[in-house]
Homo-oligomer: A and B are copies of this chain.
Amino acid sequence: MKPKGLLTPQRKAILDVICASSDHPTAAEIMDRLRKRGSQFAYGTVYNTLKYLTETGQIQELRVGEACRYDARTEHHHHIQCTACGRVDEVFAPIPNEWAEEVARETGYLLDQDQLLLKGVCASCRAPTS
């Protein structure tokens, strides 16, 4: 079935939730937030919509940790996850070109400059009196 690409009320509500979130929510968190707004859709609808929005470039899917997370920012950027609390933040510093070339040479891969996942410990997890 070829999709018509309609912005149905369900798709709009889901996109709205993602755009209103800066914490890269998972599908489950998106469903929670929809419920709080008074909308409740079938699992299948939410997952289909997330796939549709990703494929049409309206959101970005991040495979990090055990569940996929979704990001309304579609500009080129990377992500970093805290190994202590699991939160995911944006990284806008671009990869240095020489390093990208070195990696390409070493591995034979054509690098996707957008899809970098770093790990570390976030500021609040490092705070002394947390």
Interface of A toward B, CB cutoff 8 Å:
63-66, 80, 82-83, 89-93, 95-96, 98-99, 102-104, 106-112, 114-123, 126
Q: A65-B63, A96-B96 are in contact. Are A111 and B103 (CB under 8 A)?
A: no
Q: A82's contact among B83, B109, B123, by CB below 8 Å, is which?
A: B109
Nearest Cβ on chain B to A65's Cβ, whole angstroms = 6
Residues of chain B within 8 A of A104, CB atoms compared: 120
Identical copies of this chain, number: 2
Q: A115-B83, A116-B116 are in contact. Are A110 and B99 (CB under 8 A)?
A: no
Tell me whether chain A's interface is mostly helix, strand or loop, or mixed. mixed
Residues of chain B within 8 A of A112, CB atoms compared: 83, 118-121
Contact A109 B96, beta carbon cutoff 8 Å: no
Contact B118 A93, beta carbon cutoff 8 Å: no
Contact B92 A108, beta carbon cutoff 8 Å: no
| Chain B residue with the shortest CB-CB distance to A94 | B99
13 A-B interface contacts by CB (under 8 A)? A80-B103, A93-B99, A93-B103, A96-B96, A96-B99, A107-B122, A109-B121, A110-B120, A112-B120, A116-B116, A116-B118, A116-B119, A117-B117
Residues of chain B within 8 A of A117, CB atoms compared: 116-117
How long is the Cα–Cα vector from A82 to B66 in the complex, in angstroms?
19
